[in-house]
Structure 1
Amino acid sequence: MKDKLTEHSIRLFEKKGFKETSIQDIVDSIGVTKGTFYYYFSSKEELLMDINLGYINYLLEKQIEILADNRSCKEKLFEIVYLLIGNIKTQGYAAKIFFREMKNLNEERLALIVPKRDEFRLNVEKILIDGMEKGEFRGNLNAHIVTFGILGASNWSYQWFNPNGDSTDREVAEIFVEMILEGIQAN
């Protein structure tokens, strides 16, 4: 039941927004009582926190698997971009909630999310720095800014990318990484 509440909440938050969605809307969408909601969540904000933690923990887990693999920095970069774009098919609405509704979490809850988000970003930055040191990428890059560019492009794709459209998630990831590497790849 907790998963069902979460799943319906994600759809409602994506459609109506966090603030505009009431607990009553959530329970009405699956035909249960508010008591059922409060059995699993103390508040709507706790539910939002649960959604956001689930999203970022999943991404970090997959990213750590990629980092542990013995691949080139270029290949690791591709796999992370592909992870973010490929994830849209299964967690696109959760991504929208994560980026759009994080502002509705209090400081205490944000303190649990923001370091994880930053860890993901810093792991990408480390790939760039390693690639610069190994000669895979130009040595004069501003890895910090390039990281924000890569994540900005990849993370924003949840707004426009249609997993059932003309291009597959892998094709989009290949286009993104080719575009990025043409600008940062060593000669």
Structure 2
Amino acid sequence: MSELREKIIQSSLQLFSEQGFHGVSVKDIVEHCQTSKGGFYHHFKSKDELLYVIHDTFVSYVLNEANRAKRRYQHPVEQLHEMLKSLVRVYDLYNDHIIVFNQEYNYLKDDYYQLIKSKRDEYEEILKGVIKEGQRLGYIREELPTTVTTMSILGMVNWTYQWYKKDGPKTIDQIASTYIDIIFTGLLTEDAFNQYQTSKLSKELEF
């Protein structure tokens, strides 16, 4: 990513957060990051595309990390562990993007919205598939409704943007460790949880 493109994104994140998407013009953005309209349009077709890129950045990150976890690990508990770790870490990497997303996503043009929705749906299906496979193999409690379980995990983690602070008392990995402990305590069968507690994965993220 070019330095100017990143500078435009960072300026827009600040301005959109403070003034809202419709309260900010391309002129405001280029003045804030001290570039020209030509510089802006070299990297973005429009302010609408810029809003899409802000959304797509963190959605693509968690989706790519989910696919990487699926390729790297065969065991569903390991896959779920890695997916949860990256899902939490996104709030350290892209918290400003996520704040703007939650504030401004209604203004996404329909074509862009559908692209984002497609990636979010794909992520949910990967997560749901990992949970189903864990249930089939006896590692995750089979009585738990898969869809409700999937949405409960996402709902809990997705609220992180409301309170997470980079300079807070807990690091993002310590927060991830807490989430994983809560989720695994509720999801895993007794035998699977005992196995997890003695595994290398449980030692990766310390409280």
Given the two structures, how large is their TM-score scaled by the length of structure 2? Answer: 0.83
Q: For residue 53 of structure 1, what is the aligned residue in structure 2?
A: 56
Alignment counterpart, residue 30 of structure 2, candidates 27, 31, 50: 27
Asked if 1 retains the 8 angstrom alpha-carbon contact of 2:58 and 2:90, the reply is no
Structure 1 residue 5: deviation in Å? 0.8
Asked if 2 retains the 8 angstrom alpha-carbon contact of 1:77 and 1:177, the reply is no
Verify: 1:177 aligned to 2:197, yes or no. no
Aligned AA (1:18): F
Tell me which of the two structures has the higher relative contact order, counting C-alpha pairs closer than 8 angstroms and 6 or more residues apart.
1
Q: How does 1:94-109 map to 2 (within 5 A)?
A: 94-109=97-112
Q: Matched residue of 1:163: which SS?
A: coil
Q: For residue 165 of structure 2, what is the aligned residue in structure 1?
A: 162
- Structure 1, gaps ≥5 residues long: none
Cα-to-partner distance string for 1:72-127 (whole Å, 9 max, x where unaligned): 32232222222122222221111222333221112122121111011011111111
Structure 1 residue 71: deviation in Å? 4.8
Q: For residue 79 of structure 2, what is the aligned residue in structure 1?
A: 76
CA distance in 2, matches of 1:169, 1:54: 19
Given the two structures, how large is their TM-score scaled by the length of structure 1? Answer: 0.91
CA distance in 2, matches of 1:10, 1:104: 15
Q: Matched residue of 1:140: which SS?
A: coil
Moved over 3 A (4+): none
40-49 or 97-106: which moved more?
Answer: 97-106
Identity of aligned residues (%): 29
Asked if 2 retains the 8 angstrom alpha-carbon contact of 1:78 and 1:173, the reply is no
Number of matched residues? 187
Q: Quote the RMSD (CA, aligned, Å).
A: 1.7
- Structure 2, gaps ≥5 residues long: 191-207
Q: 1:166 to 1:71 in 2, by over 3 A?
A: farther
CA distance in 2, matches of 1:169, 1:134: 31
Q: For residue 142 of structure 1, what is the aligned residue in structure 2?
A: 145
Q: 1:150 to 1:47 in 2, by over 3 A?
A: same
